[in-house]
Amino acid sequence: MNEMNNLEEIRKEKERWYSQCVDSSRVRPRKASWGSDLDLIYTPDNLTDTDYLRDIGFSGEFPFVRGVQPSMYRGRLWSMRQYAGFGRPEETNTRYRQLLKEGQTGLSVAFDLPTQNGYDSDDPLVREEVGRVGVAVDSLKDYEIIFEGIPLDKITTSMTLNPTAAIGLAMYVALAQKQGIGLDKIGGTLQNDILKEYLARGTQIFPPDPSLRLIGDIIEYCHKDVPRFNTISICGYHMREAGCTIIQEVAYCLSDAIVYVEEVLKRGIDIDDFAPRLSFLLCCGMNLFEEVAKFRAARRLWAKIIKNRFNAKNPRSMMLRMFSGCSASAFTDKEPLNNITRGAIMSLVAALAGCQAIHTTSYDEAYAIPGEVSQRTALRTQQIIAYETDAAAVVDPMGGSYFLERLTNDIEREVEKEMARIEERGGMLKGISDGSIQRDIARQAYEEAKEIEKGEKVVVSVNKFASDEKGYDVELHRTDPDVRKRQVERLQELKRERDNKKVEAALEEIRRVAGNSENLMPPILTAVHEYATLGEICGILRDEWGEYREVF
Give the residue from 182, 267, 285, 255 showing the smallest Cα distance to 218. Answer: 267
**Which residue, 75, 45, 68, 37, is CA-closest to 298?**
68
Total of domains in the chain: 1
- Other beta carbons less than 10 A from residue 400's beta carbon: 13
Stretch 273-293: mean pLDDT, rounded? 97
Per-residue pLDDT of 501-522, as tens digits, reads 999 999 999 999 999 999 999 9
Predicted pLDDT at 4: 55
236-256: pLDDT as tens digits = 999 999 999 999 999 999 999
The pLDDT value recorded for residue 5 is 60
**Proportion of the chain above pLDDT 70, given as a percent:** 97
pLDDT, tens digit, 9 for 90 and up, residues 364-390 = 988 888 888 999 999 999 999 999 999
Is the confidence at residue 339, as pLDDT, over 50?
yes
Q: What is the pTM of this model?
A: 0.94
Residue 425 lies in a domain: yes
Q: Which own/partner pairs from 331-335 qualify as long-range (CB within 8 Å, at least 24 positions apart)?
A: 331/361, 331/363, 331/365, 331/366, 332/366, 332/459, 332/461, 332/462, 333/366, 333/367, 333/472, 334/461, 334/462, 334/466, 334/467, 335/461, 335/467, 335/469, 335/472
105: CATH: 3.20.20.240
DSSP β-ladder status, 107-109 and 232-235: unpaired
DSSP state of 413: H
112-166: per-residue pLDDT in tens? Answer: 999 999 999 999 999 999 998 899 999 999 999 999 999 999 999 999 999 999 9
522 belongs to a structural domain: no
Does position 529 have pLDDT exceeding 50, yes or no? yes
Is 461 a member of any domain?
no
The answer to the question of residue 5 being in a domain is: no
Task: Taking residues 63-89, report their average pLDDT.
Answer: 93
Residue-level pLDDT at 551: 60
pLDDT at 1: 45
CA distance 341 to 49: 37
Taking only the tens place, the pLDDT of each residue in 41-60 is 999 999 999 999 999 999 99
Q: Per the domain annotation, does 37 fall within a domain?
A: no
- 59 contacts 356 by C-beta, under 8 angstroms: no
Task: State how far the Cα of 399 lies from the Cα of 405, in Å rounded to an integer.
Answer: 7
For residue 92, being part of any structural domain is answered with: yes
Contact criterion met (CB below 8 Å) for 382 and 340: no
d(Cα 481, Cα 479) in Å, to the nearest integer? 6
User: How confident is the model over 443-465, as pLDDT tens digits?
Assistant: 999 999 999 999 999 999 999 99
pLDDT at 442 over 60: yes
**What DSSP string describes 289-330?**
HHHHHHHHHHHHHHHHIIIIIS----GGGG---EEEEE-GGG
Pairing of strands 79-80, 83-84: unpaired
Q: Is residue 219 part of a domain?
A: yes
What range does the domain containing 358 cover?
Answer: 52-67+77-454
136 inside domain: yes
User: What integer pLDDT is reported at residue 26 of this predicted model?
Assistant: 78
Find which of 14-23, 344-353, 480-489 is predicted with most confidence, using mean pLDDT: 344-353
